[in-house]
Amino acid sequence: MNNNPSGPIGIYDSGIGGLTVAHAITNLLPNENIIYFGDTAHLPYGDKSEAAIQAYSVKIADVLLKKGCKVIVIACNSASSAAYELLKEYVRKDAHIINVIDPMVDHVVNHYPSQTIGLIGTKRTVTSGIYATRIAQAEKGITLNSLATPLLAPMIEEGFFNNQISHEIIAQYLSDEQLGSIASMILACTHYPLIKKEINNYYNGKVTILDSSEIVAEALRIYLSENNLLNIESKPNKHFFVSDFTPSFEASTRLFFGEIVHLEQHRLWN
Ligand code: DGL
């Protein structure tokens, strides 16, 4: 196990959506070195098979381990549902792995017992049934109503949010009867924090919208602190890699990360 506190935190997603999680991590843990990997060559993961996402995840883990990461955060629900168990085994001796699903499940079962909760996410995440299984295992009387919303991640990647088109697509999905009579809603895709306000407006603030970025950053902080792995050096480095560089990805990173970042290309297969 890498027990070097100055080792970077590796964070990956299918693309740039996971930068919402990276941003929450850098806000909460400003001293940590960050290596972000966006697998833009294989985006979107939400439509891919479990086997394909596992293969991409192993390749990305190899890259992050080579760069000395002490922890790997799977900043993608689709990859967390498809590849977490495999990756945990794969990197067992080298680094700790955090996914975006378990911290949210813990939060929900502790704070929202006996509620009817909605969930929106990619096809991969929703068909995996992983949230439903984990929440049912906790036996807190929670009813989970999930809906796959595959148009939302590409819509957001293209910069379509807070406009007429996004309002209509969001309203169309949220009016699905599967999401009737919910008291809270899990955003089970790391792209969706960018449309949190629109979802909140749709429900006139009457449904609590649960976004995992800060919850995951806090789970990471607790792990680092309990294992004496918090980095105490200041002036941390941040590196952002993508498997296929395009200028439009670089332009969009600001939307997700809140500041301009320079993307470097790192191919997974040559
Ligand atoms: N950000 C990914 C997630 O949390 C979804 C985007 C994709 O389909 O690649 O599931």
| Residue 258's CATH number | 3.40.50.1860
CB 14 less than 6 A from any atom of ligand 1 = yes
Average pLDDT over residues 57-65: 98
pTM, 2 dp: 0.97
119 plus 205 within the same structural domain: yes
139 plus 59 within the same structural domain: no
The structural domain count of the chain equals 2
Average pLDDT, the chain: 95
Residue 267 tokens read as: 């191919």
Nearest CA to ligand 1 atom 8: 46
Rounded distance, CA 101 to CA 54, Å?
Answer: 16
29 plus 76 within the same structural domain: yes
Average pLDDT over residues 13-21: 94
Q: Is the pLDDT of residue 251 over 90?
A: no
**Residue 255, domain member (yes or no):** yes
| Ligand 1 atom nearest residue 17's Cα | 1
CB 80 less than 6 A from any atom of ligand 1 = no
**Residue 117, domain member (yes or no):** yes
- 57 CA → ligand 1 middle, Å: 13
Residue 247, pLDDT score: 87
Residue-wise DSSP of 174-242:
HTSGGGTT-SEEEEESTTGGGGHHHHHHHTTT-SEEEEHHHHHHHHHHHHHHHTT-----SS--EEEEE
Of the candidates 20, 101, 1, 41, the one whose C-alpha atom is nearest the C-alpha of residue 241 is 41
Residue with tokens 């086997």: 51
- 14 CA → ligand 1 middle, Å: 6
**Residue 4, domain member (yes or no):** no
CB 20 less than 6 A from any atom of ligand 1 = no
Q: Supply the DSSP symbol for 70.
A: S
Residues 94 and 62 sit within 8 Å (Cβ to Cβ) = no
208 plus 219 within the same structural domain: no
Q: Is the pLDDT of residue 2 over 90?
A: no
Q: Is the pLDDT of residue 235 over 90?
A: no
Residue 131, pLDDT score: 98
80 plus 123 within the same structural domain: no
To the query of whether residue 69 is one of the catalytic residues in this protein, the response is no
Residue 179, pLDDT score: 97
Confidence of residue 38 (pLDDT cuts 50, 70, 90): very high
109 plus 94 within the same structural domain: no
Confidence of residue 63 (pLDDT cuts 50, 70, 90): very high
Residue 195, pLDDT score: 96
CB 77 less than 6 A from any atom of ligand 1 = yes
CB 46 less than 6 A from any atom of ligand 1 = yes
Could you tell me what percent of the chain has a pLDDT over 70?
A: 100
Rounded distance, CA 208 to CA 53, Å?
Answer: 31
- 16 CA → ligand 1 middle, Å: 9
93 plus 125 within the same structural domain: no
Residue 256 to residues 31, 62, 103, 183, 213, Cα–Cα distance (Å): 20, 25, 21, 27, 11
CB 78 less than 6 A from any atom of ligand 1 = yes
- 202 CA → ligand 1 middle, Å: 22
Q: From the candidates 16, 24, 64, 76, give the one annotated as an active-site residue.
A: 76
Each residue's pLDDT tens digit, 92-122 = 889 999 999 999 999 999 999 999 999 999 9
Q: Catalogue the E-assigned strands of the chain.
A: 9-13, 34-38, 71-74, 96-99, 116-121, 143-148, 184-188, 208-211, 238-242, 263-265
- 1 CA → ligand 1 middle, Å: 28
Residues 86 and 264 sit within 8 Å (Cβ to Cβ) = no
86 plus 132 within the same structural domain: no
Residue type, 210: L
Neighbours of 255 (CB within 10 A): 15
**Residue 83, domain member (yes or no):** yes
Could you tell me what percent of the chain has a pLDDT over 90?
A: 87
139 plus 194 within the same structural domain: yes
**Residue 169, domain member (yes or no):** yes
149 plus 174 within the same structural domain: yes
Q: Is the pLDDT of residue 209 over 90?
A: yes
Q: From the candidates 22, 100, 189, 216, give the one annotated as an active-site residue.
A: 189
Q: Which residue range(s) make up the domain with 132?
A: 102-212
**Residue 77, domain member (yes or no):** yes
* Of 196, 212, 228, the domain-final residue: 212
CB 48 less than 6 A from any atom of ligand 1 = no
**Residue 137, domain member (yes or no):** yes
Residue 243, pLDDT score: 97
**Residue 134, domain member (yes or no):** yes
Q: Is the pLDDT of residue 270 over 80?
A: no
